[in-house]
Amino acid sequence: MTPAEKNGADDRLKALFALDEPAARDPVFATEVMARVMRRRFQEDLAFLCAATVVGGAALWAIWPVLQPVLVTLSQGFAPALGVLALAACALVVVGGRVRTALGLAS
């Protein structure tokens, strides 16, 4: 086999193998596709959260006449304890930065 024939065979093999190679990656296209996918997921999450908020608000509005007297009764007894807990939480946040870090729960 002469060098010219060998180069011709190599070229034919390269052309044949080139058909099986994956397409070249286009980073701009991939970025645009991922941006559209993330935008779609964001819109779906936003729609779900809006619907959940409307349903939760409607449920709270429906049970408020029953819930309001119970909250008034409970708040009279628990007001001092809840005040102390609120002050303790504020102190932890101010002194320790974050509550998890102040309590040693952060890794």
The number of distinct structural domains making up the chain is 1
- Whether residue 77 is contained in a domain is answered as yes
Confidence bin at 38 (pLDDT 50/70/90): very high
| 36-65 average pLDDT score | 96
% residues pLDDT > 90 (the chain): 40
Residue 30 lies in a domain: yes
21 occurs within a structural domain = yes
Least confident of 4-13, 17-26, 57-66: 4-13
Q: Which residues contact 103 (CB under 8 A, 6 or more apart)?
A: 92, 96
Could you tell me if residue 74 is inside a domain? yes
Is 33 part of a structural domain of the chain?
A: yes
Q: Is residue 107 part of a domain?
A: no
Residue 46 confidence class, pLDDT cut points 50, 70, 90: very high
Residue 35: band (very low, low, confident or very high) from pLDDT cuts 50, 70, 90: very high
Whole-angstrom distance, CA of residue 97 vs CA of residue 106:
12
Residue 53 belongs to what domain range?
Answer: 3-102
| Side chain identity, residue 80 | P
In a domain, 34, yes or no: yes
